[in-house]
Structure 1
Amino acid sequence: MLALGVFAQGTSAVVSSGTPFLLPALTERGMSLATAGLLVAMPMVGMVFALIPWGYVVDRVGEHKVLVTGCALMCVAAAAAATVTNYVALGILLLAAGLGAASTNSASGRVIAGWFPPEQRGLAMGIRQSAQPLGVAIAALTVPTIAAAHGFSTAMLVPAIMGGLAAVGCLVGIVDPPRPALTTTERPANPYRGDSTLWRIHGVSVLLVIPQATVWTFALLWLHRDAGLSLPVAGVLVTATQFLGAAARIGAGMWSDRVGSRLRPLRTVAVAAVVAMVALAVTAGLHWWWMALPVLAAASAITVADNGLAFTAVAEIAGPFWSGRGLGVQNTGQHLAMAAVAPLFGALITAAGFPAAFLAAAVTAAAAVPLVPRDRQH
């Protein structure tokens, strides 16, 4: 269950977070950074529209059917994108791929939350959440190189192949976790009613995903344009930082299991994200590359460490009959913010440079710190 959940979520990350690696190929063709940013944000837009509906479907029909259907849609849409050159058609197909990619967020999270006990759940969910930076690493290693050599459409074969493999794997191997039975007249309690905890976690995650998306979206371009690294070298460096991010998510999950809390580590990670993004803005602005590159690596790890913590907390608080929708709401806010980062921060970079964007991301992380709720008293 864990391996298939990781692979399905990794494929989703290649679709949703890998398309920004098409930015060099698109901008070198004369497209403005803001326009190119809008195009590569289309998978995120698709995910925003589909996350809550997929979560509702998961709550009603289970994880197996949702994972198979969503991964198959990713495969078909990405394969079709590999055959077109028209930007409008490509944008529509990227949107469709994002619709399919959204299925894995709630479904794979529910599979793991359902099959692992609380004392192992943080680690298991951290491993599952590591799929996102690993997916970005795969995209960083393959997409810009393929796009530079054969065109951006051909690079879409990477998520197409992964989507097909994920669909077959989930069809054969995913088993829905057990859920407690309800009587025909019994309705599960709404965890959002009379309690702001889930809403606060959602808000924290939206704010903290902005530094993450800023680093993921623009690191390759920053390393190429400002630091003067070649695209292959920059791609390898970004790939290495994604492995650090995967390790950070796993470590954060183990930490939360050990201390018996998801929210206390979440607050610490939020503070660390502020420090990391301020340091990145300062070193990038001063052109201290000897320091800026290690800071980028640290920021890439720190800014993703919160995701598994918040995701696990939502699944646990929402419960087995609301966690699909809860995780859908959680990811909708995050992906809406991530979709906005590419065009908005692209425009900010055009006007004021990369350091200004890094500093703006630090401000959003700072706003998240006081919003982190405290653990419930039992």
Structure 2
Amino acid sequence: MRRWVILGIAVAAQAAVSSLVYGLPFLLPVLRGALGLSLTEAGTLAAAPVLGVLIALIAWGAAADRFGERVVMTVGMLGTGLAGLAAAAVSGPVAMGVLLVVAGSFSASISAASGRAVLGWFAPTERGLAMGIRQTCTPIGVGIAALTLPPAAASWGYQWALVIPAGLSLVVGVVVAAGLVDPPRQPPKHVEETRSPYRGARLWRVHVASALLVGPQFVASTYALTYLVSELDWSPVTAGVVLAVVQFVGAAGRIGAGVWSDRVASRLRPMRWIALGAGVSLLVWGVGGAVSPWLAVVAIVAVSVFSVSDNGLGFTATAELAGPFWAGRALGVQNTGQNALAMAVAPLFAMLVTAVDWPWALTIGALLPLAATLVIPVRGEVFGQRLVSTR
């Protein structure tokens, strides 16, 4: 029973910080109007928390390996909430952007430590399911943002809207401090267990493929609402509600992908099929934008679901390949690569749209997940390597 409670706390923690770190795109129309920003400038501001995540992930992973998950996650949750409140209190995009970077740097602790905590409490045959449930946290957090931020910004302004995810992070931080229990740790039985898992190419290939698969995820999460509003004349609130529902469907997709990986005793084969689905969906979105608005809407839904379904598989494969003494650092590297690409996607895709319009920009974006299908190291995969669980 305890492991399921730990899983629930981990989901709540990551969902809370995700609503701040990845929810800002739902404020793009209001930010552009209030601050006079271009699409590229607003997209860059929305990516500011991701820069903070990128800077701090590996350090937080090393801290989790050394000091445990509870301390790291508590400090991270409270720091995220306080920095988010400070960002809501300032005026001007520069000061706001700096504080959002700080908030993102604290939130990185949750990405690095909560996955380790979950995987350490579950046996190999349950890890796909457990990590799939844990990875629902980002779609849930984005869904919360989609439901709350557009109407809050419309009623009270973007600054008060930011208070919602910041306050949520503070509340859940108290829950983490009170309820999280670190998984049991065993001393190494062999010196080989403590050696770097980066001596071969397999773990690096998982990192690269996972980073490439962030492309369609952040194209959809950053610009789907803007596309629906600017290209299809939807209202921001209606678009936010629809995309919130899609996020929850995507969360279910992560669980389904995890169960799939447990059943077929492979994390990487399902990951390859999902990558192919994401690439094809982006291509269909581009075609739909040129010939049929409703085909574009269907493709947006498909991209939003496919592009988040692989995430738990990549994380689980990373931790299993790294082993118990490198899992925190390896998850930090995994997240670093993903967030590096995520930070680049927002401004670069906006520049692509400005230069070649939506259909060609989406077609170019589809190259990332299609390339990932070639990088994922399916051949020679070993299923269910030991982590820190003794059950």
Verify same fold: TM over 0.5: yes
Matching residue within 219, 234, 256 for 2:224: 219
| Other-structure match for 1:90 | 96
| Contact map agreement 1:244 1:301 (CA 8 A) in 2 | yes
SS in 1 for 2:74: helix
Q: Secondary structure at the match of 2:213?
A: helix
- Answer yes or no: is the 8 Å Cα contact 2:61–2:113 preserved in 1: yes
Say whether residues 1:290 and 2:294 are aligned partners.
Answer: yes
> Is contact 2:284-2:295 (8 Å) kept?
no
C-alpha displacement of 1:357: 2.5
Q: Give the whole-Å Cα distance in 2 for the aligned partners of 1:101 and 1:68.
A: 10
State the 1:376 CA deviation. Answer: 3.2
TM-score normalised by structure 1 residue count:
0.96
**Residue 278 of structure 1 contacts residue 362 of structure 1 at CA under 8 Å; is this kept in 2?**
yes
Give the TM-score taking structure 2 as reference length.
0.93
User: Which 4+ stretches in 1 moved above 4 angstroms?
Assistant: none
Query: How far apart, in 2, do the equivalents of 1:101 and 1:326 lie?
Result: 17
Structure 2 gaps of 5+ residues are 1-5, 383-391
Q: Distance in 2 between matches of 1:187 and 1:239?
A: 42
Please state if 1:71 is matched with 2:77.
yes
Deviation readout 1:200-233 (Å, 9 max, x if unpaired) = 0000011110011000000000000101111111
The equivalent position to 1:58 in structure 2, one of 60, 64, 69, is 64
- Following superposition, the deviation at residue 120 of structure 1 comes to 0.6
Residue 330 in 1 paired to residue 334 in 2?
Answer: yes
CA contact (8 A) 2:57 2:109 kept: yes
Please, which runs of 5 or more residues in structure 1 have no aligned partner?
Answer: none
In structure 1, the residue matched to 2:377 is 373
Percent identity, aligned pairs only?
Answer: 47
CA drift of 1:186 comes to: 9.0
How many Å apart are 1:159 and its aligned residue?
Answer: 1.4
Separation of aligned partners in 2, 1:301 and 1:74: 27
Partner of 2:386: none
Q: In structure 2, what is the Cα distance between the partners aligned to 1:221 and 1:181?
A: 51
| Distance in 1 (alpha carbons) for counterparts of 2:66 and 2:381 | 31
1:316 paired residue number: 320
- 1:191 and 2:193 are equivalent in the alignment: no
The CA deviation at 1:187 is 7.3
Q: Would the alpha carbon gap of residues 186 and 281 (structure 1) be closer, same or farther in structure 2, given more than 3 Å must change? A: closer
1:237-280 CA-to-partner distances (Å, cap 9, x unmatched) read 11111011101101000000000110111111111111111111
Superposed CA RMSD in Å reads 1.5
In the alignment of these two chains, the number of paired residues is 376
Q: What is the correspondence of 1:53-202 to structure 2 with a 5 Å cutoff?
A: 53-182=59-188, 188-193=194-199, 195-202=200-207
1:301 is matched with which residue? 305
Q: Distance in 2 between matches of 1:75 and 1:60?
A: 24
Partner of 2:215: 210
Could you say which residue in structure 1 is the equivalent of 2:355? Answer: 351
Worse-matched range after superposition: 30-39 or 242-251: 30-39
Cα offset for 1:366? 1.1
**Quick one: distance in 2 between partners of 1:108 and 1:309?**
15
Cα distance in 2 for residues equivalent to 1:223 and 1:216: 12
